[in-house]
Structure 1
Amino acid sequence: MDDQVLRSLMKWPNVPDCYGWLALDRRGHWRMRDEFAQQNNLPGQVIQHAALNDFIGRNYACDESGRYFFQNGPQRVFITLDATPWIVRIIPSGAGADLTNQCHQIMEPTAALSDEKGNIYIVGTVNQTIYSRNKNDNNQFVKRDSQTVALLHGHDLDHFSELAKLREEACSFGGSWTWQDKQLPLDPIHSEELASRFNYIAQPQP
């Protein structure tokens, strides 16, 4: 979280929250959704300004109820999630490859999941910013490693299939996959189970 954002929160602590205007799509793009997009259930415009994308990524957080938001100065902009709070790509690196999310963080995987639509989700650890209230009712942001889930970008499904050993399940696939010389589980899941299992709210409401 940027220092200037934290300072603005102290100066203007009661700015109303914003809902519905920002979304994270399945490709890891931030999308601005104006009133027309919201009223017509449209995805909105991809934000292409590099500095703004980086600013959103640095100030991306969640509260303890699982609502994800962008802290835009003193205003909290809650984010509509098309899939999961994180979207990851398999990016070549000195170690071979990294799983990198839309905020340019490396995710440390512990497992993967496949759903009824053929999507692959990575389960693992992300160092994320969490908004909480302490016993003295003081608002605070804490950064800690948390287990979460990320949708694997569709462009990397072929690469993932090369790492996996599959067995057919009733409505999906299970098995295992190899990541940096470790064999990790690959289990089936229904897409409707993801939000409750990993404690996030896809469409935050006031």
Structure 2
Amino acid sequence: MDQSVKDALARWPDVPAVYGWLSLDARGRWRLHPQGQSAQGGPGESITNSQILEFINRNYEHDEAGRWYFQNGPQRVFLRLDAAPYTLRLSDDNRSLLTHTNAVIDTVEAWKLDDAGQLYAMTSLGAGIVLDRDLPPLLEKLATDSGAPLLDALADLPRGGTIQAAFPGAYPAAPLSLIAQENVAQELGFDPDPRPQAA
């Protein structure tokens, strides 16, 4: 978090949070909802200013309830997550994963594959969905703990079953299990659409 943001928080600790103005789509793009209506499900407007994007990326956090927000000076801007708190992509050398905020993923604690074919990783930073364009090459790299191609093993994985999946050279084996898309937020521990709490 930027020092200027920490200073603003110390100076004005009780600024009310806002909801409905910001969302993060499945491709890791920040979207602005000028009327504060992200809860209505609209796509919003793309934020393209590089300085604003970098500021949001540096000041992106979550609270203990799994609600993610952008700390805009002294004010928390809670956001709607269309897929997960992070969107993960392969690094340029294809040897690790990076978040949409350009943070390097050091560890993967678990993998989740939903019934729509989307892959998620539980990381030390939080849960992330693998970017759609990087999913095929990543699946080609993943292997079971015995070294067999993961794609071959997935065909025999029953619902409720778990196999070990490793990214050789990057992440050691971690459990991979199947989940229903409707249960992703609950199982990965985040609130996809925070609302103001009742007084």
Q: TM-score per shorter chain, which class?
A: 0.7 to 0.9
The answer as to whether partners of 1:115 and 1:172 remain within 8 angstroms in 2 is no
Question: Partner of 1:186 in structure 2?
Answer: 176
Q: How does 1:147-166 map to 2 (within 5 A)?
A: 148-164=126-142, 165=150, 166=153
TM norm structure 2: 0.82
Q: How does 1:1-206 map to 2 (within 5 A)?
A: 1-35=1-35, 38=38, 41-93=41-93, 96-107=94-105, 108-126=107-125, 148-164=126-142, 165=150, 166-168=153-155, 169=157, 175-181=163-169, 182-206=172-196
Alignment deviations for residues 96-125 of structure 1 (CA, whole Å, 9 cap, x no partner):
522100121111213321101010011221
The answer as to whether partners of 1:122 and 1:150 remain within 8 angstroms in 2 is yes
Whole-angstrom distance in 2 between the partners of 1:74 and 1:178: 41
For structure 2, the 5+ residue unaligned runs are: 143-149
Deviates more, 1:111-120 or 1:29-38: 29-38
Closer, same or farther in 2 for the Cα pair 1:15/1:37, shift >3 Å? closer
Deviates more, 1:40-49 or 1:68-77: 40-49
The answer as to whether partners of 1:118 and 1:172 remain within 8 angstroms in 2 is no
The residue type paired with residue 188 of structure 1 is L
Whole-angstrom distance in 2 between the partners of 1:53 and 1:170: 41
Query: 1:40: Cα distance to partner?
Result: 5.6
Q: Cα RMSD (Å) of the superposition?
A: 2.2
The structure whose residues are more often strand, as a share, is: 1
TM norm structure 1: 0.80
What is the percent sequence identity of the aligned residues?
32
The residue type paired with residue 181 of structure 2 is S
Closer, same or farther in 2 for the Cα pair 1:26/1:6, shift >3 Å? same
Query: 1:86: Cα distance to partner?
Result: 1.0
State the number of aligned residues. 183
Alignment deviations for residues 64-111 of structure 1 (CA, whole Å, 9 cap, x no partner):
111110010011100110011111001134xx5221001211112133
Whole-angstrom distance in 2 between the partners of 1:74 and 1:55: 14
Alignment deviations for residues 27-50 of structure 1 (CA, whole Å, 9 cap, x no partner):
001100122854863110111111
